[in-house]
């Protein structure tokens, strides 16, 4: 699919579920900070999510300091306990997770005595948030979410982009038609390449307008602001999933989702509980033996080795 013109001369790459691959998305993100996958989430799934979370929006109160979130915005969090449709279809979306693996996974090779070892560290769910923007809500200031992680950045070119640059990677999904008028997220293309001292201004921002079920993918180092409905999957925890949800809730998901939510041992030995993978906490003791001392989970993942020049998207600024 040809790139779509969004505004102000920027043409941001857009895909469909048929044309999108994790590699293509990663390349487009490294080029422009963000990209779209139109029609990624089926409308009936979005309807179910709306049913699941609407009561929480209605019970939410205005954010006190009015800086992080506008007065007339309402939020829902704790999604893993509140919406199975959201958790499995958005957070667990395969294209999203596979792209997150490319952008965020780190890999290390080292010597242990005479043995050559390779280990990987995989992304975990950082937070999942829904926003309802009520009429009259003011815009968020343009900001970079990676400041939460004190992520100091130097200015680079797309060719200089390396693993570790981003500490988080988000997917925004339209819960209804999102427009410039009703508060859809705006972002500054290519701002993920800037250093921390470079300030953005509104003239540079373009609106990530979406239909219901469309997805907008964005690097955490990109300037953005304002919101419709969104989820975020990020490398380091914002929401503490281990205390936000009961063990029974986590146990009700399959092993892949438990890993994404954060119940995963990172090899060689990070995040253990009694020397075991934290999934051992979720099952009866007989089954927990499967996660015994020395248990290593190793799934194939594509890492962010810099793509060949021929794979890189063309620059589409006009």
Rank residues 209 and 277 by Cβ distance to Fe ion and give the closer one: 209
- Closest to 232 (Cα-Cα) out of 318, 149, 300: 149
Rank residues 145 and 233 by Cβ distance to Fe ion and give the closer one: 145
Assess 166 for contact with Fe ion (CB under 5 A).
no
- What are the residues whose beta carbons fall under 8 Å from the beta carbon of 131, sequence distance 6 or more? 69, 73, 74, 75, 227, 228, 229, 230
Rank residues 101 and 221 by Cβ distance to Fe ion and give the closer one: 221
The number of beta carbons lying within 10 Å of the beta carbon of residue 318 is 8
CB of 279 to Fe ion, least distance (A): 31
Hunting for tokens 């499967």 — which residue is that?
290
Q: Using CA atoms, how far apart are residues 266 and 313, in angstroms rounded to an integer?
A: 33
Q: Are strands 106-112 and 115-121 parallel, antiparallel or unpaired?
A: antiparallel
Rank residues 143 and 312 by Cβ distance to Fe ion and give the closer one: 143
Go through 265-275 and write b for each residue having 16 or more CB atoms within 10 A of its CB, e for each that does not: bbbeeeeeeee
Judged by DSSP in three states, 54 sits in helix
Number of residues interacting with Fe ion: please give it, by CB under 5 A: 1
CB of 316 to Fe ion, least distance (A): 25
Q: Using CA atoms, how far apart are residues 315 and 318, in angstroms rounded to an integer?
A: 9
Binding mask 41-80 for Fe ion (x = CB under 5 A): ----------------------------------------
Rank residues 145 and 166 by Cβ distance to Fe ion and give the closer one: 145
Q: Using CA atoms, how far apart are residues 47 and 49, in angstroms rounded to an integer?
A: 5
Rank residues 20 and 222 by Cβ distance to Fe ion and give the closer one: 222
CB of 230 to Fe ion, least distance (A): 9
Q: Which stretch binds Fe ion (CB under 5 A): 78-86, 144-152, 156-164, 194-202?
A: 144-152
**Sign of the alpha-carbon torsion through 223, 259, 24, 213:** negative
CB of 143 to Fe ion, least distance (A): 6
| Among the listed residues 27, 32, 50, 145, the single contact to Fe ion using CB under 5 A | 145
Tell me if the bond preceding 268 is cis, omega within 30° of 0: yes
Rank residues 204 and 266 by Cβ distance to Fe ion and give the closer one: 204
CB of 277 to Fe ion, least distance (A): 32
Query: 75, 140 in Cβ contact below 8 A?
Result: no
Structure tokens at 260: 């994404």
Q: Which stretch binds Fe ion (CB under 5 A): 77-85, 141-149, 275-283, 287-295?
A: 141-149
CB of 225 to Fe ion, least distance (A): 7
CB of 70 to Fe ion, least distance (A): 12
Residue nearest to Fe ion (CB): 145
Binding residues for Fe ion, per CB under 5 A? Answer: 145
């Amino acid at each position: 699919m040809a790139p779509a013109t969004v505004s102000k001369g920027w043409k941001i790459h857009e895909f469909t579920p048929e044309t999108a691959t994790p590699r293509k998305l990663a390349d487009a993100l490294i080029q422009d900070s963000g990209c779209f996958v139109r029609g990624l989430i089926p409308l009936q799934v979005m309807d179910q999510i709306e049913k699941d979370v609407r009561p929480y929006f209605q019970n939410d109160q205005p954010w006190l300091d009015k800086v992080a979130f506008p007065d007339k915005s309402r939020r829902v969090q704790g999604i893993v306990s509140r919406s199975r449709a959201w958790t499995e279809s958005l957070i667990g979306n395969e294209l999203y997770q596979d792209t997150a693996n490319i952008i965020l996974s780190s890999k290390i090779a080292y010597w242990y005595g005479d043995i050559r070892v390779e280990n990987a560290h995989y992304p975990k769910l950082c937070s999942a948030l829904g926003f309802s923007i009520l009429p009259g809500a003011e815009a968020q200031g343009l900001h970079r979410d990676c400041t939460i992680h004190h992520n100091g950045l130097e200015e680079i070119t797309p060719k200089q982009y390396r693993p570790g640059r981003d500490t988080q990677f988000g997917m925004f999904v339209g819960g209804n038609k999102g427009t410039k008028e009703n508060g859809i997220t705006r972002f500054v293309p290519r701002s993920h390449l800037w250093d921390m001292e470079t300030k953005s201004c509104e003239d540079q921002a373009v609106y990530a307008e979406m239909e219901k079920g469309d997805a907008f993918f964005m690097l955490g180092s990109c300037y953005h602001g304002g919101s419709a409905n969104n989820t975020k999957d990020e490398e380091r925890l914002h929401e503490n999933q281990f205390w936000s949800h009961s063990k029974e809730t986590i146990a009700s998901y399959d092993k892949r989702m438990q890993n994404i939510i954060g119940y995963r041992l990172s090899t060689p030995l990070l995040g253990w509980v009694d020397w075991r993978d934290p999934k051992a906490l979720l099952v009866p003791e007989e089954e927990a033996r499967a996660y015994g001392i020395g248990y290593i989970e190793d799934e194939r993942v594509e890492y962010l080795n810099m793509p060949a020049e021929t794979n890189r998207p063309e620059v589409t600024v006009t």
